[in-house]
Structure 1
């Protein structure tokens, strides 16, 4: 299973994602989409983001499937008409964990710490 972030640009400033979007999109999927779960992050910066948990044989396949789903949703789901799919790709989590390590005092890739491996 792969987590793919689909970033959506609103049609205008101040336009929010519709309520209960995960349930709406989930109801529109078919088994061939191999979508397991949707997490909606309306306050993500710079664009609202859908976290799509997809079954796939490779990361490339998961990202391609997420792109197809995103394009289909902004075309076929009336509350998303006018929105644009900006990207659909696996999120980079290394910077997040590196920040956690750095702020903990244990070091990390971007800073020295008390551990020899840092």
Structure 2
């Protein structure tokens, strides 16, 4: 008796994880806040970007305002690079964002209070 055994060829599997990347921005003037529509503008600019999920603006964060970008990516470095590219594209597309300088895009280190 012959049995049919399906053949599956997998050349590579890329695991994708969700990352929160903080994009830190330098204000063009001391105390100046990001425009109120910044979150909407970043989201609109990034809507077709692979891996982009969500942007959240924290305009009063010190010492630099922060745009939190949720990205699906294959690595931490890819997520950080993708978030930086999203900001740069948004700033290029929207004049009201251009004065804000990208300082860095990085995964934040968050303390865990596990209660042990």
TM-score, normalised on structure 1?
Answer: 0.74
Residue 25 of structure 2 is matched in structure 1 by 8
Residue 110 of structure 1 is matched in structure 2 by none
Please, what is the CA RMSD of the aligned residues? Answer: 1.7
Q: Is the 8 A contact 1:9 1:83 kept in 2?
A: yes
Question: 1:23 offset after TM fit, Å?
Answer: 1.5
Q: Is the 8 A contact 2:43 2:55 kept in 1?
A: yes
Question: 1:45 offset after TM fit, Å?
Answer: 1.0
Residues 1-36 of structure 1, C-alpha deviations (whole Å, 9 max, x = no match): 100000011111122101132112111224234211
**Structure 2: gaps (5+ residues):** 1-17
**Alignment size in residue pairs:** 99
Larger RCO, structure (CA 8 Å, separation 6 or more): 2
**Structure 1: gaps (5+ residues):** 107-114
TM-score, normalised on structure 2?
Answer: 0.76
Mean Cα deviation higher: 12-21 or 27-36:
27-36
Runs of 4+ in 1 over 6 A off after TM superposition: none
Q: Determine which structure has the larger helix proportion and give its number.
A: 1
Question: 1:64 offset after TM fit, Å?
Answer: 0.8
- Within the candidate set 43, 66, 78, 2:95 is matched to 78
